[in-house]
Structure 1
Amino acid sequence: MANLNIALQYSGINFPGHLHTLQSMHYAEEFKFHDTDILIVTYPKSGTTWMQEILTLICSDGNQAPAKTIPNWIRTPWIEHYYCEDILQDKLDNRIITTHLPFHILSKSLKQSNAKVIYVARNPMDVVVSFYHFHKMAKFLPEPGTFGEFLEKFLLGKVHFGSWFEHIKDWLSHREEFNFLFITYEELKKDLRSSVEKLCKFLEHSLLPDVVDTIVWHCSFTNMKDNQMINYTLVPNEIMDHQRGKFMRKGKVGDWKEHFTEEQKQHFEKVFQEKMREMDIRFIWSL
C-alpha cells in the first residue's frame, strides 16, 4: 500500500494514509475484543515497541524465537492498520494488540470485554523530540519543518494522531472502567526488572526469576536496536528513509534537554500545567 502523501482524517484526527483506511478504522471501532486480549495503548513514540517486545517475551514464557523471527507488527499488530484484520482472523485467543487510537474511538467496543489494557506514557517533552526525528525519516508523515515549528504544532494538537494531552487525559480519566494498568517509559528505564514483574502480576502470568532475567536482557535498548524484527530496517527506504535517521534512535530519558531552548521549555511547561491541571495523577518524568 502506498498513499505516502495522503492523510486520512477520521473523527477529526489525521492519520497516515499509508497505513490507515476508512475500512480499517471502522474495523478498529467495531472490533470484538476477547477477555484474553492484551491491548497496548500509547501515543506515538512513548515506548510502544518496548512494550510490544516485553509482552511478547512474557507471553512466550521467555522464548525468544518469536521476537527474533516475526516482525513486531505481525506479533502485536496495530488494530487500526489496514493489515490487522487479516493477521487476527485466525487468531482467537491470547492476542497482543497495539493501538495509538484515542479513547473515544475504541471505548464502546472495549467496554464489551474484560480485555487487559496497558497504557504506556512518556514525558511529552521527550515524545515531541522523538516524534520530530521520526517525521524526518518516515515518508508517510509530513515534513516537520524546524523543531520550533513542529513543537508548536504538537502543543496545539495539530500533528498526526492528534493531541498528546487529549490522548492521555481521555484514557486515564476512564481507567477505572477497564482492566487497566498505567506504566511509564521512565519506570521501564529506571528498573526494567521490577516493571516486568509488575506486568506479570497484572497479567496473572507468573515467571521464574531466570525467565525474567532473560526478558530483561533481551529487552535492553542495545539488544532491541539490533533486532531487525523491531528496528524497522525491514521496511524499505521508500517508506522509511534509513539514511535520514534510525527508528530506535537513543532510547534516553531527558533527551529533550538537548533540543529545547529555555523559552521553549517554559512555554511547554505552561501549556502542560494548563491542559493537565485537572488530572489526579502525579507524573514523574525523570529518573
Structure 2
Amino acid sequence: MSENHTSFLPNVLVNSLPKSGTHLLLQIILGIPGMEITPAWVIEDKDLDMIKPGSVGPAHLVYSSERALLLKHKNLKVIFISRDLRDVVVSLVHFIMLNKWGNHLWTPYLTSLKTHEERLLTMIKGVSLSNEQYEEFGITEIPNIRQFAQDKLGWCKELGICSISFEELVIDEESQQKAIMKIIEFLWDDLKLLRISKMELLQKIRGNIKPESSGTFRKGKIGDWKEEFNEIHKEAFKEIAGDILIQLGYEKDNDW
C-alpha cells in the first residue's frame, strides 16, 4: 500500500506495563493493512514524533496527566495493555534470566541469587543495594512490584484511550475476538476509510497473531504464578500489592 493510501490511517501508541503482551498487541495493530512499526521504541516524549499516520510505536511510558494531555494534543490513538501482576513477576524473572542479549540491568544481581524462589521474592519485594554491591552489580536497587507497576497503571483509568488486558487477548477465542473488536471500534473513524468490513478486518488481524515469532515470547500463559509462587511469595505479594489486584479485578479480596 503506498504512502498516499496510508495517510488517513491512525497514528497509534501501544503503551504497556512490561511483560504484559506488548508484542502481541503490536501484532494486532500490524495486522491492519498499511500499518507499520516505528524504527525504534518510544522512550521519551520527543520520540512520539516518530509516530506518523499509518505507524505504531511501542512504549512503556509512565502515566501523568501532563503526558496524557500531550498525547491528546498530538492526536495519538493510545492503546494500553496490562496484566495480572503476579504473572508479570514470573515473566520478568524468566525474561531476565533467559535474556539472550545479556544486557538487562538486573541480570547480574538476579544471577547471583542461588534459587528461582529467591529471584521471585526479590521481584515481589524489591531490594536496596549497598555501595559495595553497587560496585559489583552496577545498580542501586530493584523496585518492588508495586513500584514497578503503579506509575504506569494510571493509564487504565485515563479517559479517551483504549485499555486492554493480556488475559482478554489469550483466555479463549471468544474473548480475544471481543477484545480485538474493541480495538477496531476505537480506531474505526480512521479504519473505515480502508473500505473493508469490521469482520474482514478482524480476520486479517487474527491472521497476523503469531506469538511464537516474538523474540520475547516464552509461554504467554495465564496463571503461571500458581505453579511458581509458594506461600512466602503469596504473603509478600498480598502485603505489597494485594490491593492492586483487587482494584484491577483479578481478586475480590486477599483470600487467594
Query: One fold, TM greater than 0.5?
Result: yes
Instruction: Give, in whole Å, the separation in 2 of the partners of 1:101 and 1:267.
Output: 27
Distance 1:108 1:196, change over 3 A: closer
Distance 1:202 1:195, change over 3 A: same
Instruction: Give, in whole Å, the separation in 1 of the partners of 2:118 and 2:143.
Output: 14
Residue 270 (1) aligns with residue 248 (2): no
TM-score, normalised on structure 2? 0.68
1:254-265 equivalences in 2 (<5 Å): 254-265=223-234
Q: Which amino acid aligns with 2:149?
A: F
- 1:109 aligns to what? 70
Q: Give 1:269 deviation, angstroms.
A: 2.6
Q: Give 1:267 deviation, angstroms.
A: 2.5
More helix by share: 2
1:1-287 equivalences in 2 (<5 Å): 36-60=10-34, 74-75=37-38, 77-80=40-43, 92-104=52-64, 106-107=67-68, 109-138=70-99, 139-141=102-104, 142-143=106-107, 144=110, 145=113, 146-156=115-125, 158-159=141-142, 163-173=147-157, 175-176=158-159, 179-190=160-171, 191-204=175-188, 205-206=191-192, 207-219=197-209, 223-225=210-212, 227=213, 231-232=214-215, 247-274=216-243, 279=247, 281-283=248-250
Note if contact 1:56-1:75 (Cα within 8 Å) is conserved in structure 2: no
Note if contact 2:18-2:60 (Cα within 8 Å) is conserved in structure 1: yes
Q: Which amino acid aligns with 2:167?
A: E
Larger mean Cα displacement after TM superposition, 121-130 or 153-162: 153-162
Note if contact 1:125-1:256 (Cα within 8 Å) is conserved in structure 2: yes
Structure 1 unaligned blocks of 5 or more: 1-34, 67-73, 233-246
Q: Give 1:196 deviation, angstroms.
A: 1.2
Q: Give 1:88 deviation, angstroms.
A: 6.3
Q: Give 1:168 deviation, angstroms.
A: 3.8
Q: Give 1:209 deviation, angstroms.
A: 2.2
Structure 2 unaligned blocks of 5 or more: 1-8, 127-140
Note if contact 1:126-1:254 (Cα within 8 Å) is conserved in structure 2: yes
Q: Give 1:276 deviation, angstroms.
A: 6.3
Instruction: Give, in whole Å, the separation in 1 of the partners of 2:235 and 2:16.
Output: 25
CA RMSD of aligned residues (A): 3.3
Instruction: Give, in whole Å, the separation in 2 of the partners of 1:183 and 1:284.
Output: 17
Q: Which amino acid aligns with 2:235?
A: Q
Note if contact 1:38-1:96 (Cα within 8 Å) is conserved in structure 2: yes
Instruction: Give, in whole Å, the separation in 2 of the partners of 1:51 and 1:224.
Output: 10
- 2:130 aligns to what? none
Q: Between Structure 1 and Structure 2, how many residues are aligned?
A: 210
Q: Give 1:151 deviation, angstroms.
A: 3.1
Note if contact 1:77-1:96 (Cα within 8 Å) is conserved in structure 2: no
Q: Give 1:188 deviation, angstroms.
A: 0.5
